Structure 1
Amino acid sequence: MNETPFKLAFGSDAMIPVEISQGSIRINYFNDVVNNETRQAELDIIEEVRDEEKIRNEAIQQMIRNKYNKRVRPRTLQQGDLVLRRLEDVRKPPGQGKLAANWEGPFRIAKVYGRGSYSLQSLEGADLPNTWNISSLRLYYT
């Protein structure tokens, strides 16, 4: 953004205490009448400045969103697909350290709930108790 948050909130630039105590161009050439007119003009256009900054901010967010989404590949799994399940650190066998397996399985997708949520079952047909998000699953290739 081209404007400071203080200017967007209050309509003018902030003055630090050193400027006031030591003197600066703004303090040395201070004129009460001109200052009031300038302040009134700044307050008249502050809404326009806020709107411009809002539009600029939304455009930047849209560009970032498009750049991110260009690299995202949506994945969907169907019922009956074989998948591997990610092992969290809690479920890894103790004593194996960093060499422990990160994935376990294969499992079969028993039911698709939508929005990336799946229930799994073992290859023998026993259902697993929880639902799993697609971020914790990956397709198993035989």
Structure 2
Amino acid sequence: MERANRSIKDGIKVRFDTKRTGWVDELPHALWAHRTQKKTSNFETPLSLTYGPEAMIPAKIGIPSARVLLITDNDTDLRLNSDLLEERRELALILERDYVFRNNEASGQELGKLAPSWEGPYKIKGVLDKVAYTLERLD
């Protein structure tokens, strides 16, 4: 939850100028961006894990793409997505447990003020003790 709140807060900060007023007006945009962005921990969007299908903006519906052309019966597609939703949620939960992120301060490198705070994802290869782990890159 702390990570989600920080992501939303960062999304609001990006949309501001030098003045820090009117953040309430930017909240819906930041929430939409957070809910429709794939997370690196489970490769799913929060919106798709809640409702099933991925979000599609109205402008893309009019453009003939494979995704739009494959939709023949919306009710049938929604029922199929809801049937598979529980399986997608379980898979996302398994992926979140398998992967971790490493704090960049742990590497001891000076990365600069604008560098990301975390790197990864990594897979836990072994447990050295209660607070130390051997990590493995995904590649």
> Does the TM-score normalized on the shorter chain lie above 0.5?
no
- TM-score between both structures, scaled by the size of structure 2: 0.38
TM-score, normalising length from structure 1? Answer: 0.38
Instruction: Kindly name which structure, 1 or 2, has the bigger radius of gyration based on alpha carbons.
Output: 1
Higher strand share: 1
Q: 1 or 2 for the larger relative contact order (CA 8 Å, sep ≥6)? A: 1
Q: Which structure features the higher share of helix residues? A: 2
